Structure 1
Amino acid sequence: MNMPYVYDNYDGTYRLNYYRTWPHTSTTQGAYVYTDIDFDTFGVEHTLTIGGSGNKTKSKSIDGAYEWDIVGNYTLNELNNALEPIYKGSSDNKKYVSGRNEKTNLMIGDDIRFNDQWSALVGFNYAKTEEKNYSMNGDRTGGYDADEVTPSVSLIFKPFEDLTTYVTYMESLENGLKVECANCNNNGSVLDPYVSKQYEAGAKYSVSENLLLSSALFRIEKANRYDKDLPNGMKEVTQDGLEIHEGLELTATGKVTDNLTIVGGGTIMNLEIDKAASNEGKKPADTASKMAKLYAEYDIFAVKGLTLTGGAYYTGESYRDGANTDIIPSYTVYDGGLRYKTKLDKYPTTFIMNVTNLTDKKYWRSSTSFGEPRNLAFSMKMEF
């Protein structure tokens, strides 16, 4: 796979790099078992869930599976005609065991129903995760072994039939990131696992049988990861402190009329880096504080089986770097399409046409890559 990365030189030109990877394989074996037990205690209904799951993953890679090539400096008009990079190629096409991962989860949870209005969900999860990475010589290059007991608690209140309100707190043991970056001096290493935390309070209101409105206030705490620039031109993927995401999310899903279906919503967040050795109080890179989308489908009753589809997707401005010195502008892209359902002989068949980025808008998707240009796609699905 070839992937371009583009960097602003701040002089009207851009540095184009190419990152190339060779295929790797992963084999996973897993099993799980869960059981539910229903019982009552003093008029309170319970559904107790007990169970566990586990899996093992073995990854195989090719020596020299990552390459990073600096192609050159170009203006925006020249980028589309940039030279093809010259790759060194892999030094050995034989695959070797590059990593092993084992995960175990044991959980117990109780769905408690006090009455028609009040209920609660209480649970605990024991998670154990082990990661081992190896060089092609079989030497261990990194990894971790961590375990944690994490809780989750929800209190649910239904003032009336169509309205549900809730408050939730939950924790989760997250895997450490494996660094896969040919331009990073810690390529192949594994960052430490961490416990994420989430607080949420929200409400869901059924306007009708087919339309649901929901809102949520939330706070998410997770590890702060960023790329640190080094004097030699390389980077180092670093994990330090916390990313704090606090915000409000509003969504609407369902049928507005008999022939109009919508899926829409928006999120506004306050973002901050906390408890970090550097960039404390700044906003995390490549994370927009405002996002919104509206997707709609309109059935054309005059032509049976024909549906118009379309959407608008907004992403607010974000910062390119942890120091918040460079801004990635906001952008809005539009999609549109048609879907036609019919029968060929006796088989249900669907024809689909989609156009993404209708206006062919040029925008930065992240600090290192452009957004996709306008694309037109056709497909057909037949059910036998």
Structure 2
Amino acid sequence: MPCSRTPAIARVTNALNSTLRPSSVHSIEQAASQPACAPRQIALAAAIGPALLAALALGLGSAAMPQRVHAQPVQDAAEARRAYDIAPGTLDQVLNRFAGRAGVELAADAALTRGKTSVGLSGSFTVHEGFARLLAGHGLQAVRGGNGTYTLRLEAPPPGSANVVELPTVTVSAAGDAAEALPEAYAGGQMARGARLGMLGNVDMMDTPFSVSSYTAQTIEDQQASTVGDVLVNDPSVRFTTSAGHIYENYSIRGFSINADDLALSGMYGLSPNGHSPTEFIERVEVLKGPSALLSGMSPNGAVGGVINLVPKRAGDAPLTRFTADYISSSQFGGHPARGRRYGERKEFGVRFNGAYRDGRSELDGQSKRRVLGALGLDYRGERLRLSLDAYANEEEISNGSPWMASFSGTTVASPPKTGTNLLRGTHGRLDNKAAVVRGEYDFNDHITVYAGVGARGYRYSGYINGTRAGNVLPSGNYTGATYNQNGYIDTLSAETGLRARAQTGPVGHQVVLSATMLQMESGTINKTSASYPSNIYNPSTPKLAADPGAAPKTADTTLTSIALADTLSFARDRVLLTAGLRAQRVQTRSFSATTGLQTADYDKSALTPALGLVVKPWTAQVSLYANYIEGLSQGDTVTDVTARNYGQVFAPYKSKQMEAGVKWDAGEITNTLSVFQISKPSMLKDTASNTYNADGEQRNRGVEWNVFGQVMPRVRVMGGVTYTQALLTHTANGAYDGNTAFGAPRWAGSVALEWDTPWVPGLTLNGRAVRTSWQYINSANTQRIPGWTRFDIGARYATSIQNRKVVFRASVENLLNRSYWTGTFNDGFVTQNAPRTFKLSTTVDF
């Protein structure tokens, strides 16, 4: 029978904290030497990377509990009856916990458990009885092998059945398919074990010389996160640079801005939805922190702080028909249908549909919102060939108002008004995104894989979506305002291709990647400004509305091309991993006048950007020391302040640099990462006298980050962290701002989210979250600052079964205390405001 090279794997053992039994060492060494067509094993008991195989074979776990050296024979352990109390969760998580507590090893193809859940286990069982109870109704069985290891397989059909389908052999592939396989969820299910590192593909967190976070679909669903911004509230290094509820959702990572258009979809730029990125079709939200030119190429707007990558959903092996009905205050109602199926003798073909519709009054006084999403994911997973197609259409409309920003006159920053205050009644806006992307990869053999992807997106926007601000607000709240009506478009074509190869030169392993990328963008924008009018942020008047500016002419075109080569060298049985690479990049940018059509700027710049990354596991595979140096090349900043005299100007491309070092500790069910970093990039500063922006000086951010996630104890999960950042301006014109703190970069930021499965009501989970940001300067002159703020959220969910259908009820309250505060900055001198207390309710039913 031919071998199935479906997405990749990691061998397993649950002896993370235990001394290895001699028989275990023998069996692992045997597994490590099996040919490519041996059964593929996917981590359920510990979910650890390939580096752990060699570490375990060397007996590196010897620092753990000595009493387990004299473990009882496997046969006796399997027949012993023990008490278990395992909380509900995804099937792979529950099986992982059971295998760990039972002291047995479990191996499986991750596709068998994907998309399945378990109610947990409570009572006294033998190993066989426990597996049988957990797998009942899933069409699966755990089969015990001669060495005591259990293997998860499809349940055998009844004798004489005409529909007998033989389970294909699953193989460990040495080729590049491992780089495309979705990393497993970590203990607790809220975060994943790894993330996509651009051209390097998906990499386990302990093998990564970078700081990464990967939020799972479980987190998205359980927190009722309807946009990517709702998900990234959990990350202490990420903050928002637009007011809550704005039609655009922009971010900062490590103190540097990232526009909504800088998100990647399946690792490719220019294809994600602009404005808000809906989560209904997203499986993972991944954050790679720091510049990433070698890994991901150039982002459309030159993001430096990091990469946000969106991973679309796929059909699982188990059929899925699901509907979620939801409510968001003040009166938004919505629905989210989802359907997934796989077809073919070996379930080679997958179809996944996700839709969403929401309409009604928002949390902003008098405003209404409407959003429509349709997304389709198709995939084929053959013996050597894997293909996928993702397509979506997303529309978003607002009417009768918009969240807004404010700047202030003098050095006094006025207090924020009541949350939900609507300064811009009568304004409206609309965003339309349509995109499709095709990806494929082919294994020439067990050592070489080629891959390619191409996608296109059309984005249209209109209305009062930029310039939603109150300028030069006095301490009394008075200001003179104007509105800005805008039409525009961005059309993108994105493509990548490459080759991954694995080789061995003596004691050194190599994973070589050759990659080429191309991103073409054409954009146009035009706007009109209304007459000025007096108003007050505490008692707003009716604004004067700007006229429709008409069709948008072409105002810019950009082509970003690159070719990169990287090699990850592995030494000492994967205890030392060294990644070195170089990317040759070219930025071609032209800008044109919206009124005359004449060219106003033309940049064509090329550069080589290197990167080095090192991972060392000095004691066990559970501890990784890492460091990296990486450079980035970005197309120049664009002036986005519509009130500026040089609005729309594009500056010359520039380089950025990052140095980072840290330590990661995977304690089995909880992981900690501690890192220090420095990022430097040219800065764009505002000349208040002339009301223009200029490329001036350098911004240098130094900081310390601590991140934690996982299951602290049975039934209790945590994710969050703290970051400390010093963001300084240097080499500014005539030293005017040298030594000042960059605007919008708080010294301290933190977040923590907790979940607790209550023991007295099976299926009931309580959760809470706290988000804290310290004071920060809001202008480069450091004459204005806003105080720190804290937000508290609470929630609950209840999972049950009604008429043999899984049902989950969820409820949450965000900004529990309904506090009003300035949250951060958008541009130099402009602050953003938070959302009022928000109630969210939803019910999910599986049919």
TM-score of the superposed pair, with normalisation by structure 2: 0.42
The alignment status of 1:31 with 2:495, answered yes or no, reads yes
Matches within 5 A, 1:1-384: 2-9=402-409, 10=412, 12-16=475-479, 17=481, 20-61=484-525, 63-64=526-527, 67=529, 71-72=533-534, 74=536, 79-92=537-550, 94-116=551-573, 117-136=575-594, 137-161=596-620, 162-207=622-667, 209-230=668-689, 235-277=691-733, 278-342=736-800, 348-366=806-824, 367-382=830-845
CA-to-aligned-CA distance 1:1-43 (integer Å, 9 cap, x gap): 6452323343632345465453533221121112111112232
| Distance of 1:164 and 1:69 partners within structure 2 | 60
Equivalenced residues, count = 373
Say which is worse superposed, 265-274 or 128-137, in terms of deviation: 128-137
Q: Is the 8 A contact 2:482 2:544 kept in 1?
A: no
Q: Residue in 1 aligned with 2:262?
A: none
- Indicate the SS of the match to 1:230: coil
Separation in structure 1 between the aligned mates of residue 659 and residue 695 of structure 2, nearest angstrom: 22
**Alpha carbons 1:69, 1:85 under 8 Å: kept:** no
**Post-superposition offset of 1:105:** 2.0
Shift of 1:215: 0.3
Q: Which amino acid letter does the alignment assign opposite residue 513 of structure 2?
A: T
- Does the 8 Å contact 2:535/2:541 carry over to 1? no
Q: Which amino acid aligns with 2:523?
A: S
- Hey, what's the Cα distance between the residues in 2 that align with 1:381 and 1:129? 46
Would you tell me which structure has more helix in proportion to its own residues? 2
Conserved in 2, the CA contact under 8 Å of 1:68 and 1:183?
Answer: no
Give the 3 Å change call, closer, same or farther, for CA 174–68 of structure 1 in structure 2: farther
Cα distance, 1:356 vs. partner? 1.7
Q: Report the residue type matching 1:158 in the other structure.
A: K
**Counterpart of 2:53?**
none
RMSD: 2.3
Deviates more, 1:340-349 or 1:363-372: 340-349
Q: Give the Cα–Cα distance (whole angstroms) in 2 for the partners of residues 112 and 332 of structure 1.
A: 45
In structure 1, what is the Cα distance between the partners aligned to 2:846 and 2:484? 38
Residue 8 of structure 2 is matched in structure 1 by none
Query: Which runs of 5 or more structure 1 residues have no equivalent in the other structure?
Result: none
Q: Is the 8 A contact 1:196 1:223 kept in 2?
A: yes
| CA displacement at 1:141 relative to structure 2 | 3.0
**How far has the Cα of 1:120 moved from its partner?**
0.4
Q: Distance in 2 between matches of 1:369 and 1:70?
A: 22
- In 1, Cα distance between the equivalents of 2:836 and 2:532? 23
Distance 1:245 1:319 in 2: 14
* TM-fit CA distance, 1:89: 1.2
Higher relative strand content: 1
SS in 2 for 1:49: strand
Output one character per residue of 1:191-242: Cα deviation in whole Å (capped at 9) or x when no partner: 22211100001000012x22101100111112222332125xxx22222111
**CA deviations over 1:79-105 (Å, ceiling 9, x no partner):** 34301310221232x232232221112
* CA distance, structure 1, for counterparts of residue 539 and residue 590 of structure 2: 42
* Counterparts of 1:143 and 1:255, CA distance in 2: 53
SS at match of 1:24: strand
| One-letter code aligned to 1:303 | V
Q: Are 1:311 and 1:334, in contact at CA under 8 Å, matched by a contact in 2? A: yes
Please state how far the C-alpha of 1:142 moved relative to its aligned partner. 3.2
Q: 2 CA distance for matches of 1:299 and 1:71? A: 54
Q: 1:365 to 1:345 in 2, by over 3 A?
A: same
Q: Residue 754 of structure 2 aligns to a residue in which SS?
A: strand
Q: CA deviation at 1:158?
A: 0.4
CA distance in 2, matches of 1:125, 1:195: 13
- The 3 A distance-change label for structure 1 pair 91 and 18 is closer
Does the CA-based 8 Å contact 1:4-1:18 persist in structure 2?
no
| Structure 1 counterpart of 2:476, one-letter code | T
Structure 1 counterpart of 2:623, one-letter code: L
| Letter of the structure 2 residue corresponding to residue 369 of structure 1 | T
Would the aligned equivalents of 2:492 and 2:521 in 1 still touch at CA under 8 Å?
A: yes
Q: Structure 1 residues 24, 281: CA separation in 2 closer, same or farther (over 3 Å shift)? A: same
Does the CA-based 8 Å contact 2:565-2:583 persist in structure 1? yes
In the TM superposition, what whole-angstrom CA distance separates every residue of 1:131-174 from its partner, at most 9, and x where no partner exists?
Answer: 22223443223352222110110122101221100111000112
C-alpha separation in 2, matches of 1:363 and 1:15: 18
Conserved 8 A contact 1:212-1:252: yes
Structure 1 stretch 291-300 or stretch 345-354: which is displaced more? Answer: 345-354
Deviations 1:95-117 (A, max 9, x none): 32232221112110001001132
User: Which one has more relative contact order, counting CA pairs under 8 Å at least 6 apart?
Assistant: 2
Instruction: Go from structure 1 to structure 2 and tell me whether the alpha carbon gap of 1:67 and 1:289 turns closer, same or farther (over 3 Å shift).
Output: farther
Report if aligned partners of 1:141, 1:188 keep a CA contact under 8 Å in 2. Answer: no
Deviations 1:48-98 (A, max 9, x none): 11111112122233x32x547755353xxxx34301310221232x23223
Structure 1 Cα separation of the partners of residues 659 and 505 of structure 2: 29
Q: Is the 8 A contact 2:485 2:549 kept in 1?
A: no
The 2-side partners of 1:239 and 1:68 are apart by 29
Q: Tell me if the contact between 1:44 and 1:112 (Cα under 8 Å) persists in the aligned partners.
A: yes
Measure the CA separation in 2 of the matches of 1:262 and 1:363.
Answer: 27
Q: Bigger shift: 352-361 or 109-118? A: 352-361
Whether the 8 Å contact between 1:3 and 1:19 is mirrored in structure 2 is no
| Contact 1:48 1:110 (8 Å CA) reproduced | yes
Percent identical across equivalent pairs?
A: 23
Contact 1:6 1:14 in 2 (8 A): no
Contact 2:530 2:544 in 1 (8 A): no
Distance 1:90 1:197, change over 3 A: same
1:99–1:306 CA distance, 2 compared to 1 (3 A): farther
**How much has 1:332 moved relative to structure 2?**
1.1
Offset, 1:308: 2.0
Consecutive unaligned residues of structure 2, counting only runs of 5 or more, are 1-246, 248-401, 413-473, 825-829
**For each residue in 1:260-288, what CA deviation from the matched residue of structure 2 results, as whole angstroms up to 9, or x when unmatched?**
11112111122211111120111111211
For 2:836, what is the secondary structure of its paired residue?
A: coil
Shift of 1:180: 2.5
